[in-house]
Structure 1
């Protein structure tokens, strides 16, 4: 009977996981997710992080346009569920740490589970508080947990974390990193032993932990982790690693290939905002944001030409490397005029094409040489660098096109006055 019960639970979890776009490659184009930003506090200071809660103009982890109470999160969930029927997952990814604000996280889970028991609940955490809160997660029925583990060596961890805040004590250097690592690994072991699917995120930081990642993957495998997600560093403005070189897609894929002999690798991660909504490749969070729009008339005196990466011309919704055309706007004191839709060859075509990526990227940049700025959902380090060398300002944004253009004009004006 115990075997039958265990097998039944395993089949149920497997079926549920097929509806989780982060854990299931087959499901990531079919099922939508919603991140509820209810946990603003964090107990770590990571050198790659700079959390800006009120910014709708960035698309990266730790960013949100608003902080919600548990009740507001429930209300927003109900609204989104009506508009996006294929919503299958509600995740809590901060914008701080989901366990550092545990009371808000727990209440949000309870409210949403009571409203819709079929919705999958998952959360992301740095793992510092996992050993003590794992029993509560199990009691709540959470079956999918992501833990970010960037190192299992305190010496390397000390290069990534400025300090660790634990039980009213602030620890730095190897001491803080060692505590964090021990708690992360203990928490993963507890959750995995009780049937929770643990995904481990690893930020690949060139020259810091890149030669250590295989050790991390082997260790978390032994503890029961089911999948790892190796992500490139996104140099966040204002962070310690703001000017650190971003890991190339080629190096990232090489590392994934080395590690997939131990654990399956997630290759479709979009490094989502803390308030992301919709399919992984189509963030619709701005549609449901309460943020005030920019004024309709720009407060600038100059006229600029701006290229926008947009699928339908309504939202800034494409990565620079995924665009096959750019909407070219003339923007000035009197507003915006769409001049043309300029076709280009998509340069990011996957790992097999990485050798030709640089050449295609250069052709695209030259085709935009008459523009003052390029506005895109996200743009990689190397493309940013080449655009700046050509005198073109790269701008990341995830808003409506008009708001994005206004934001870009403001950035251009500030650059000229600096």
Structure 2
């Protein structure tokens, strides 16, 4: 059976009243996608971004359960878990289903939602209902295959790849069929619409009216974010004035979500306070395996951090390095060294050789660099200078101890 609409009062994405009371947790267990949107670039290893399709790590269902247990201990107002990629939840159905079953074993009362492009809804919607998934978000950008041909590069369906209006037509038909089935079985459906000026903006009121007829509960009209490396990377971002004007126009047909943050695929916490970098599972597991470090030779470690609390910056996006020195468990901050960012985009994070050379000179006296993410080329150049690169995404304090352990291990080899 489907779930009661009253449950929506605890879902921050479906309810304006809930978004400052209840926390959500996205579990990134679905890396694969079965369509290619011209506005999408799922480079989920470029971790300083906050947009759909981005995550710091991909989890197995078992790891997702471990992370859920950890987050639930720390966040009392966690009300919902969702699977929103970084690909498509239904293109990774086995992982999605197993994750939901494991979470439900731990907490039968937690709300469960998923996001999908809708291509595989006709195939899996009976199982979605059977699993008790209460909320589903479907991204529907148009109703006409000719418009869809301008939005989608290809659609992979039942072992074949379709392009143009043919591929878009299959996607749109499955979306409408799936929404109808979900809504008819008590699942609360939110429809996301990416507003792309000159392509589908004039058509959005028709989309809203149609999904209302199919049973959608709410629509979320979102601005185009021109992701670097995507087909639409040079398109202008849709203005919020245009978005709000369209929401006001469509409000008469369906309630409009106005508090969307276009979250990452691993977002955790309140909608306006993403805490995903506090709960990076791979680094928590590494910490547990590290023995306490006895006092040793002092080492100097350069850290990339926004505010000095978390290791939460990509090496190429750091405007300064925090230089710590210490031995054993104790470290102190020596100085902050400003530098120029060399990674200026998502697609070519290792292309700015001259800037990188200058950065390497800035930290040439350090034994290690502690950073959330670093490209292969930069790692190689650091290694040539005798500097160890250590990836991490938890607190600076714990990261320094972890980096020191890595240094000790490398010296023993």
2:146 to 148, 152, 155: 155
Indicate yes or no: 2:93 matched with 1:102. Answer: yes
C-alpha displacement of 1:55 = 2.5
1:84 to 72, 75, 78: 75
- Deviation track 1:365-413 (CA, whole Å, cap 9, x = no partner) reads xxxxxx978x9xxxxxxxxxxxxxxxxxxxxxxxxxx968999xx9xxx
TM-score normalised per structure 2? 0.71
Indicate yes or no: 2:320 matched with 1:331. Answer: yes
Q: Which residue of 2 aligns with 1:181?
A: 172
Q: Give the distance between the partners of 2:215 and 2:86, measured in 1 at CA.
A: 27
TM-align CA RMSD: 3.0
Please list every run of 5 or more consecutive structure 2 residues that lacks an aligned counterpart in the other structure.
285-299, 313-317, 324-333, 344-369, 379-413
Q: Which residue of 2 aligns with 1:195?
A: 186
C-alpha displacement of 1:120 = 0.3
Any conservation in 1 of the 2:37–2:151 contact (CA below 8 Å)?
Answer: yes
Q: Give the distance between the partners of 2:259 and 2:114, measured in 1 at CA.
A: 18
Any conservation in 2 of the 1:330–1:336 contact (CA below 8 Å)?
Answer: no
Any conservation in 1 of the 2:302–2:321 contact (CA below 8 Å)?
Answer: no
Q: Flag the 1:176–1:288 CA change in 2: closer, same or farther, 3 A.
A: same
Q: Flag the 1:228–1:296 CA change in 2: closer, same or farther, 3 A.
A: farther
C-alpha displacement of 1:132 = 1.4
Q: Flag the 1:265–1:296 CA change in 2: closer, same or farther, 3 A.
A: farther
Q: Which residue of 1 aligns with 2:111?
A: 120
C-alpha displacement of 1:57 = 1.1
- Deviation track 1:81-119 (CA, whole Å, cap 9, x = no partner) reads 001011000000011100000000000111111110111
Any conservation in 2 of the 1:201–1:228 contact (CA below 8 Å)?
Answer: yes
Any conservation in 2 of the 1:39–1:96 contact (CA below 8 Å)?
Answer: yes
The total of aligned residue pairs comes to 319
Q: Which residue of 2 aligns with 1:241?
A: 232
Indicate yes or no: 2:245 matched with 1:263. Answer: no
Q: Flag the 1:29–1:63 CA change in 2: closer, same or farther, 3 A.
A: same
C-alpha displacement of 1:298 = 6.7
Any conservation in 1 of the 2:38–2:151 contact (CA below 8 Å)?
Answer: yes
Q: Flag the 1:61–1:188 CA change in 2: closer, same or farther, 3 A.
A: same
Any conservation in 1 of the 2:311–2:371 contact (CA below 8 Å)?
Answer: no
Q: Flag the 1:40–1:338 CA change in 2: closer, same or farther, 3 A.
A: same
- SS at the partner of 1:45? strand
Q: Flag the 1:405–1:194 CA change in 2: closer, same or farther, 3 A.
A: closer
C-alpha displacement of 1:208 = 1.1
Q: Which has the larger radius of gyration?
A: 2
Any conservation in 2 of the 1:202–1:228 contact (CA below 8 Å)?
Answer: yes
1:55 to 46, 49, 55: 46
Any conservation in 1 of the 2:321–2:337 contact (CA below 8 Å)?
Answer: no
Q: Which residue of 2 aligns with 1:350?
A: none
Q: Give the distance between the partners of 2:335 and 2:90, measured in 1 at CA.
A: 45
Q: Aligned ranges for residues 14-29 of structure 1 at < 5 Å?
A: 14-29=5-20
- Deviation track 1:190-223 (CA, whole Å, cap 9, x = no partner) reads 1111111100000011111111111100000000
Q: Give the distance between the partners of 2:14 and 2:274, measured in 1 at CA.
A: 18
- SS at the partner of 2:221? strand
- SS at the partner of 1:121? strand
C-alpha displacement of 1:61 = 0.2
- Deviation track 1:294-346 (CA, whole Å, cap 9, x = no partner) reads x94279xxxxxx9x7x7xx74699xxxxxxxxxxx98369675499xxxxxxx
Please list every run of 5 or more consecutive structure 1 residues that lacks an aligned counterpart in the other structure.
1-8, 300-305, 318-328, 340-370, 376-401, 411-418
